A and B are shown apart, each in its own frame.
Chain A
Amino acid sequence: MTGLRSADPRSIGLVVAVAGLALIALVEVWQPVVGSGLYDGVVPEEPYRVLNPASDQAGSPSSAQVTLDASSGISPAIVLVTTEQPPQAQLIATPGAISLAPGSSTLTASVTPVEPSSEEAAAATIYGNIYRYSVVDQAGNALNLASGARPTVVLRAPFGAPAVAIAHWDGNGWQPLPTGTGALPTILTAPVTALGDYALVPAGGGLTLPTVTGLAVLALGVLGVLLLWWRRPRRATDANTPARPPAPAGRNRRGQRRRGGDRT
């Protein structure tokens, strides 16, 4: 122990560090860590697929369609899911959500990404694709939601999108709906009362996250300038203000003794 105590602490540390590295190498040789790491259950989001992708975007968004038996007279549960991971668009409806026409034997529900009309494109900034939800019977006749039915539209927001809400195109404009967040921050849900076109538009009356962030940065900048202006050294520019007498030797302007001020 005497030798250890007298040894240089840095040398001891170096020895321990080398021993640790040797231990790592020994364990790796003895029982190598093989295979892939443990899957932690969190599925990474694949890039959002857009209908008309730019050079740095993924394209070919999927559609979904399902044909179901409706001969009982009550529409069955509908679960429409696009194939992206996580899905970019879904429709979830409990039984009875669709108003069936007399004689309906089957219904076909579909969700498809569509090009925006000129009116839709001009009405709001749209994040991601517009998805068209429709349900038709075996003859191709369009079916509507039953009175009081509130199926759920689920849309995934593109990564980096600001605060957005699910909106329905009512023929005149995008009507934002009360939108909740799903399992992931980018998964948005809204109960709906009609089929048709749905998309993500800025939430909160156009105050998007970048706008709010920009305003906050601007406010902080203005505050910083004001603080700098307030804290800047005041100069004796006023003719009525007597000039400050010089500080005595060995003291600074506040009258404090300088370090080493006695040394001459």
Chain B
Amino acid sequence: MSCKQVMLLCLGVALAVAGCGPANGPTPPPSVLAGSIGPRPSSPATLTVVQPQDGAVINGPTVHVVFDLQNATITTSTTTHIQPDLGHIHLYVDNVLVSMNYQTQDDITLTPGAHTLKGEFVASDHVPFDPRVWSNQVVFSVQ
């Protein structure tokens, strides 16, 4: 291994270490950390599926999805330093997580038939709040 390669390797390691560090400020207290190590904060957010409407019949395969998010803001940052009013939306179709959305609108492709759709507002570490912030669930058909 040449000297340049060794130096590049070390630079890569250093950058990786920098990426592993906390993104924003000091380490959050254990009470708000992700996963099973502590309780989760609550959120004032409310989430509603605006489109498609419940019972709608849509000419597919593309379905335009619109959410209404109140009392919270969508952020693209991913961090363990979470705030109750910051996060993003997890989109569930047929009770399976489809995507993570950093906006309130999205286009998804679905097969013909009846489907369910709902969303969940989750914290910036991708973990749900407690209680979980679910939207209403809509049932609609794709032709």
Query: Which A positions have Cβ atoms within 8 angstroms of B?
Result: 9-10, 12-14, 16-17, 19-21, 23-24, 27, 31-43, 77, 79, 81, 86-87, 90, 92-95, 97, 150-152, 154, 180-184, 187, 189-191
Contacts and interface: CB of A to CB of B under 8 A. Distances in A.
A9 B3 contact: yes
A90 B7 contact: no
Nearest to A36: B35
B36 A36 contact: yes
B2 interface: yes
B97 A39 contact: no
Given A13-B6, A17-B10, A36 B112 contact: no
Contacts of B55: 77, 94-95
Interface of chain B, main secondary structure: mixed
Residues of B in contact with A, size category: 35 or more
Contacts of B36: 36
A34 B21 CA distance: 10
A85 B15 CA distance: 36
B38 to A, nearest CB: 8
Interface string B22-50: 10001100100111110000000000000
A41 B90 contact: yes
Contacts of B98: 183
Nearest to A27: B17
Interface in B27-81: 27, 30, 33-37, 54-55, 57, 78, 80
B80 A152 contact: no
A96 to B, nearest CB: 9
A16 B126 contact: no
Contacts of A34: 27, 30, 33
A182 B126 contact: no
A87 B113 CA distance: 18
Contacts of B80: 35, 38
Contacts of A92: 94, 113-116, 139
A191 B113 CA distance: 5
B111 interface: yes
The residue among A41, A86, A187 with the most chain B CB atoms within 10 A of its own CB is: A41
Contacts of A32: 27
A39 B127 CA distance: 6
Interface string B1-24: 111011101100110011011100
B30 A182 contact: no
B141 A39 contact: no
A35 B34 contact: yes
Contacts of A182: 93-94, 96, 111
A30 to B, nearest CB: 9
Given A16-B10, A79-B139, A86 B35 contact: no
